Structure 1
Amino acid sequence: MSQTVTSTSPNPVRRVAFLGLGVMGYPMAGHLVKAGLDVTVYNRTAAKAAQWVAEHGGRAAATPREAVQGAELVFACVGNDDDLRSIVLGPDGAFAGMARDTVFVDHTTASANVARELSASAAPLGLHFIDAPVSGGQSGAQSGKLTIMCGGDAASFARVEPTLAHYAVAVTLIGAAGAGQLAKMVNQIAVAGLVQALSEAINFGERAGLDMALVLDVIGKGAAASWQMNNRGQTMMAGKFDHGFAVDWMRKDLGVCLDEAKRNGAALPVTALVDQFYGDVQRLGGSRFDTSSLIWRLRKLDGGA
């Protein structure tokens, strides 16, 4: 059974580690400092960790193993399965330095398989693993308003939830190890289809000569309403694609979804097509545009700007 928690209960945790200071991890770790926690960070590029310490305080460590020394909870947010394994496993990895009974919380959007693998690796060491991918993008990380989907055991989840609440509006235990990653895949599948449909709708309306700002205002009050329409519709019309979650990252996520679908037998025809469309955006030079840039692709195909 899933459990949704938005608790603001007191948090007894005082010392934590955060591994990975990308566009998501950097502000997330900052929220922990603002909450009064003692934070040690690690980043593959040491200069980024030094920059974070100069801005927020705390400490930087040279390896994940050093960073987690004495930490009551360990958090991570890196790029993919291989990045995650590189900071967790091995003689300089986090598991080598974590004290028994410590919980490792992974915010990376990765495969369900690696979550299960690392959860299984943690158990003989007396450690606990929670896969906890997030939704809300860079803006959600900066504002502390992420939605977090978790996989793991209920006892470990209960220990980490109050700390997660420092940068989340909702934290949900979906199921056992890997369930958080599977829920994030569901999220990305839904988002991909919505963004493509919204792109087609806006492009169609523009070519039909409609006042699309007015049209979106009208239909945004009806059955077509969505977060994407309300938050990206106007910027899509304006050709602004600088909202943080890059096409490169979305293609990585959709690749994870498509790989999982091959294993579980789910048909993802629309997702596969939209993944190809994002490939077109990359080839057209929009790799670092945000995911709403699917409309840019349509305009390019139509001969527009």
Structure 2
Amino acid sequence: MSTENQVVIGFVGLGVMGGAMCRNMALKHAGGVVAFDTNDHAFHVLDGTKTRRAASLEDLAGEADIVFLSLPGGPAVEAVTLGPQGLAGGVRRPKVIVDLSTTTVASAREVGAALAARDIAFADAPVARTREAAQRGELSIMVGADAALFGRIEPLLRYIGTDVTHCGAIGCGQVVKLINNALVFEHTVALAEMMVLGERAGVDPGTLLDAVSKGSGDSFVLRNHGRKSMLPRQFPEKSFPPEYVLKDIGYVLELAGQTGVATRITELAHRYYSATAQQGYSGRYFPAVIELIARDAELVPQGAQP
């Protein structure tokens, strides 16, 4: 492995989170950085950095030693890594691929095995926290990799995260990330119900959050989703919509089925967010679930598609 100053970082996927992460890497890494995205406008986030724009995945693979991915889900990761024009298909291949996306556990393990057969090391390293945390380089990163690879990539992950946890072998990063997300989504529904209940019983929602935040009911969800979104009833587009929630919950339910665990609370949350997507809040920030609760909307029947 080259010294850190000689390592060229590749980055694929410059969306809301990926663009911020790539920018931090470009500003902090002593070596070269090359990026690829199919959206021309996505590269504006890298203005003022040393990042070179790759013309294709093959171009990026021809230069980068370690490639980071920030993509919509497992199918995109598989296409970018293993597809006909993917990172593993050219004459020169990166030594390491690190997936920062959220995928199924099975997908992470299948991609890792397929890349290993091509002599490419792989780690799943999904990220948590907000877009603002990504911009500040303060994400929480949950890594699935063998110990040796974790030691190699941890310093680079520190460019984008303040908390980097080695969760176990390939796939274990996704297990922890999916559980983290499920808890956030479930807690958001629970908080929304209690905010509506409190208001109907005569307590101002702001007063409720102030009081609860001083007791054992305080939480990340209360301080962030509750105060910043549900209290002012602001649910912007181009944030994290219910469709993304349903994707992640679907991954959790798939894992639960594979492991034989009954996840009834997660199933109920799926129904809430299905209703949110169907009843006027598609594409809007997912804490809009409070609006469904406030108007006593009917939930999507269990097992129905959003």
Normalized against structure 2, the TM-score is what? 0.89
Aligned in 2, Cα 1:49/1:289: closer, same or farther, shift over 3 Å? closer
Tell me the alpha carbon deviations over residues 264-283 of structure 1, each in whole angstroms, 9 at most, x when there is no partner: 11111111111111111111
Q: Name which of structure 1's ranges 57-66 and 226-235 shifts more when overlaid on structure 2.
A: 57-66
Taking the TM superposition and a 5 Å limit, the aligned residue runs for 1:1-305 are: 11-12=4-5, 14-36=7-29, 37-45=31-39, 47-54=40-47, 56-97=49-90, 102-234=95-227, 235-242=229-236, 244-301=239-296
For 1:30 and 1:13, locate their aligned partners in 2 and report how far apart those are by CA, in whole Å.
18
For 2:46 and 2:162, locate their aligned partners in 1 and report how far apart those are by CA, in whole Å.
26
Tell me the alpha carbon deviations over residues 15-58 of structure 1, each in whole angstroms, 9 at most, x when there is no partner: 1100111111111100011114421111133x135434545342
For 2:193 and 2:119, locate their aligned partners in 1 and report how far apart those are by CA, in whole Å.
51
Residue 99 of structure 1: how far off its partner (Å): 5.2
For 2:14 and 2:94, locate their aligned partners in 1 and report how far apart those are by CA, in whole Å.
25
Q: Is the 8 A contact 1:281 1:287 kept in 2?
A: yes
CA RMSD across the alignment: 2.1
| Equivalent AA in structure 2 for residue 270 of structure 1 | I
Q: Name which of structure 1's ranges 266-275 and 59-68 shifts more when overlaid on structure 2.
A: 59-68
Aligned in 2, Cα 1:27/1:182: closer, same or farther, shift over 3 Å? same
Q: Name which of structure 1's ranges 62-71 and 205-214 shifts more when overlaid on structure 2.
A: 62-71
5+ residue gaps, structure 1, are 1-9
Tell me the alpha carbon deviations over residues 211-264 of structure 1, each in whole angstroms, 9 at most, x when there is no partner: 221221121121111001112222312101238222211111111111111111
Q: Name which of structure 1's ranges 13-22 and 94-103 shifts more when overlaid on structure 2.
A: 94-103
Tell me the alpha carbon deviations over residues 151-175 of structure 1, each in whole angstroms, 9 at most, x when there is no partner: 1111111111111111101011101
| Equivalent AA in structure 2 for residue 38 of structure 1 | G
For 2:92 and 2:147, locate their aligned partners in 1 and report how far apart those are by CA, in whole Å.
20
For 1:49 and 1:280, locate their aligned partners in 2 and report how far apart those are by CA, in whole Å.
31
For 2:88 and 2:294, locate their aligned partners in 1 and report how far apart those are by CA, in whole Å.
49
5+ residue gaps, structure 2, are 299-306
| Equivalent AA in structure 2 for residue 258 of structure 1 | L
For 1:99 and 1:140, locate their aligned partners in 2 and report how far apart those are by CA, in whole Å.
34
Tell me the alpha carbon deviations over residues 98-148 of structure 1, each in whole angstroms, 9 at most, x when there is no partner: 856711100110011111111111212221000011111322212211100
For 1:178 and 1:229, locate their aligned partners in 2 and report how far apart those are by CA, in whole Å.
30
For 1:283 and 1:207, locate their aligned partners in 2 and report how far apart those are by CA, in whole Å.
25
Q: Name which of structure 1's ranges 260-269 and 57-66 shifts more when overlaid on structure 2.
A: 57-66
Tell me the alpha carbon deviations over residues 65-99 of structure 1, each in whole angstroms, 9 at most, x when there is no partner: 21122212110010111111111013321123485
Q: Is the 8 A contact 1:137 1:244 kept in 2?
A: no
Percent pairwise identity: 32
Q: Is the 8 A contact 1:101 1:126 kept in 2?
A: no
For 2:147 and 2:133, locate their aligned partners in 1 and report how far apart those are by CA, in whole Å.
25
Highest RCO, 1 vs 2 (Cα 8 Å, sep ≥ 6): 1
Q: Name which of structure 1's ranges 158-167 and 10-19 shifts more when overlaid on structure 2.
A: 10-19
Q: Is the 8 A contact 2:143 2:168 kept in 1?
A: yes
| Equivalent AA in structure 2 for residue 51 of structure 1 | H
Aligned in 2, Cα 1:268/1:98: closer, same or farther, shift over 3 Å? farther
